[in-house]
A and B are shown apart, each in its own frame.
Chain A
């Protein structure tokens, strides 16, 4: 295992350990808690799962270091966007098109498998996370800002968890077929994004 991946694995293990302790002490991650609500919200939102996978693939295609940074930037941007959404409270209905647009663009980039500079990679990942986080934050039905923050922390944890899978596929397997699988997944996500744009424009007519 690469050193950067080993560091992340250790960090994830420590985080899980800390969460488990909190669960016993404060029931913050009990099934009915806002944190668990955030986790569930993410795992029940296909478009959010797809963008997390696409962004994870795009970052991981640039190597292990990018993959690890990408996971962190995606989760942080998601959290920041979510906080922004909580503060704003509402967005125009057409904002949903932005989510479809990010699926299309990030999916295409993942399918393309072309190398970009670190700034571009992180900017793409941050925008994707920010847009979906913003939409999550606006749509959040938590009782109060504090509960909303815990929901967003749950979503952020799930985002980091899911977007780490492409890293597992591309960095740990390290086989040519794994890269092909990642690119095909990217094309499927882009295709879904394109169709979602079609749905959004059709609904608006």
Chain B
């Protein structure tokens, strides 16, 4: 009851959130089959462990570096990822996309495991952004036919942000007494997984850019 009273005393924030949430489903339900684009977009970054590992590593590294890298990385990554996505949409080739994605998981995992701190946080954003280009290109070339482009784009940008958020949330274990070691261990695990992905990508041969709008990656 007390909590309710407190929340009623601070109505604007709670009311604003509730009202926004109440309007969002209306918007998402729009355009008939277009909602399928949103679902596809939301699902796509979760469709491969290499994507997931790299995205979570971005969040972990941001949390490890602290502000301003904590917000710089999640701001820089989707922008450069979208640039890569645009290249993919236009059918412009980007060599070694799969290798780049796998290498991103390996390198970002190493950054977290070794607690690498660039001299300026912007360098971390540059490194993360560079890999974002490969992730975005993969997303851009793999739109399932007949989906709504806007909703697909929005979906995969939001899903990527959610994965960063998960990484940041996990990275906050650094505040605990042995959290820093846990965080480094998580980085090592991601680096190990990245190494496996890289081995697999190199074994299957260098993958030049996939033509636009092919089937989704498995």
Which residues between 172 and 187 of chain A lie within 8 Å of chain B, taking CB atoms?
172-173, 180, 183-184, 186-187
A43 interface hit (Cβ, 8 Å): yes
Contact A194 B79 (CB under 8 A): yes
Which residue of B79, B85, B86 contacts A111 across the interface (Cβ within 8 Å)?
B79
Contact B83 A194 (CB under 8 A): yes
Contact A44 B27 (CB under 8 A): yes
Among the stretches A45-53, A121-129, A147-155, the one at the interface with B is A45-53
Interface string of B153-183 (1 = CB under 8 A from A): 1100110010000000000000000000000
Instruction: Output the least CB separation between A50 and chain B (Å).
Output: 8
B78 interface hit (Cβ, 8 Å): yes
Contact A43 B150 (CB under 8 A): no
B71 interface hit (Cβ, 8 Å): yes
Contact A191 B82 (CB under 8 A): yes
B218 interface hit (Cβ, 8 Å): no
With A187-B78, A202-B212 as given contacts, are A45 and B140 in contact (CB-CB < 8 Å)?
no
A residues near B30, Cβ cutoff 8 Å: 44-46
Which residue of A1, A46, A162, A184 contacts B150 across the interface (Cβ within 8 Å)?
A46
Interface string of B61-105 (1 = CB under 8 A from A): 000000000110011101101110111111100000000000000
Q: How many residues of A contact B (CB 8 A)?
A: 34
Contact A190 B153 (CB under 8 A): no
Tell me the complex Cα distance, A126–B65, Å. Answer: 38
Tell me the complex Cα distance, A186–B20, Å. Answer: 17
A192 interface hit (Cβ, 8 Å): yes
Tell me the complex Cα distance, A43–B29, Å. Answer: 10
Instruction: Output the least CB separation between A96 and chain B (Å).
Output: 10
Main secondary structure of the interface of A (DSSP, over half): helix
Tell me the complex Cα distance, A47–B74, Å. Answer: 22
Contact A199 B149 (CB under 8 A): yes
Tell me the complex Cα distance, A180–B70, Å. Answer: 9
A76 interface hit (Cβ, 8 Å): no
Tell me the complex Cα distance, A196–B152, Å. Answer: 10
B residues near A111, Cβ cutoff 8 Å: 75, 79
B residues near A201, Cβ cutoff 8 Å: 89-90
B residues near A43, Cβ cutoff 8 Å: 23, 26-27
Contact A191 B78 (CB under 8 A): yes
Tell me the complex Cα distance, A187–B157, Å. Answer: 9
Tell me the complex Cα distance, A180–B75, Å. Answer: 9
Contact A202 B89 (CB under 8 A): yes
Tell me the complex Cα distance, A153–B30, Å. Answer: 21
B residues near A172, Cβ cutoff 8 Å: 12-13
B6 interface hit (Cβ, 8 Å): no
With A43-B23, A165-B20, A187-B74 as given contacts, are A197 and B13 in contact (CB-CB < 8 Å)?
no
B191 interface hit (Cβ, 8 Å): no
B residues near A180, Cβ cutoff 8 Å: 70-71
A residues near B29, Cβ cutoff 8 Å: 44
A63 interface hit (Cβ, 8 Å): no
With A191-B81, A196-B149, A196-B150 as given contacts, are A183 and B75 in contact (CB-CB < 8 Å)?
yes
Known: A187-B76, A202-B91. 12 other contacts (CB 8 A): A45-B27, A45-B30, A47-B150, A165-B20, A192-B153, A195-B89, A195-B153, A196-B153, A198-B86, A198-B88, A202-B90, A205-B91
19 example contacts (A-B, Cβ-Cβ < 8 A) are as follows: A45-B27, A46-B150, A47-B150, A168-B16, A172-B12, A183-B71, A191-B81, A191-B82, A191-B153, A192-B82, A192-B157, A194-B83, A194-B86, A195-B86, A195-B149, A198-B86, A198-B88, A202-B90, A202-B212
